[in-house]
């Protein structure tokens, strides 16, 4: 069941969701989502997902690995948030989760009903448009919100002109 978006009701504002990962195209998605959020007086949510299957070890080792992954995620998110603050001038919301990317994106959309648009950027690699875009394209069940996929040839200047 698709939950109703609340972003147009009084006391709410439309939010753009960008997923932070280690792909080169990620920064373009964040830039676009941030510009759209600023220009529409909305919000920006940055989501980092720690893959679920990375911690299948003995309990003590698992806890250390999980803590290290969390620490690395926090460092990446701090850097992304700082870039948004400096280049766009807005304060993003930071969310770090652990699990399957598709599941965690879906949960985030359901939990924060102000999120109205998921922004992704296609990569230019020979093996496809990137893991998130490929995952979205392969899903049999759509997300409850529109998904914007940026082409791989847009620069930040192009994005600024579009927003």
pLDDT at residue 44 in the model = 98
pLDDT at residue 158 in the model = 92
d(CA 48, CA 101): 9
d(CA 54, CA 65): 8
Q: Are 12 and 139 in contact (CB under 8 A)?
A: no
d(CA 152, CA 163): 16
Give me the average pLDDT of each 10-residue run along the chain (163 residues).
67 91 90 96 96 66 84 96 97 96 92 94 71 66 83 90 89
């Amino acid at each position: 069941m698709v939950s109703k978006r609340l972003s147009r009701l009084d006391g709410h504002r439309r939010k753009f969701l960008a997923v932070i990962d280690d792909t080169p195209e990620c920064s373009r998605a964040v830039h676009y989502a941030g510009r759209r959020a600023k220009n529409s007086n909305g919000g920006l949510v940055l989501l980092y997902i720690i893959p679920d299957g990375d911690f299948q070890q003995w309990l003590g080792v698992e806890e250390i690995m999980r803590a290290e992954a969390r620490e690395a995620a926090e460092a990446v998110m701090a850097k992304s948030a700082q870039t948004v603050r400096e280049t766009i001038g807005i304060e993003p919301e930071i969310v770090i989760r652990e699990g399957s990317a598709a599941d965690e994106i879906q949960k985030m959309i359901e939990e924060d009903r102000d999120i109205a648009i998921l922004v992704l950027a296609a990569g230019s690699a020979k093996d496809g448009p990137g893991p998130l875009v490929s995952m979205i394209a392969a899903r049999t069940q759509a997300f409850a919100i529109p998904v914007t996929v940026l082409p791989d040839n847009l620069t930040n200047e192009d994005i600024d002109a579009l927003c």
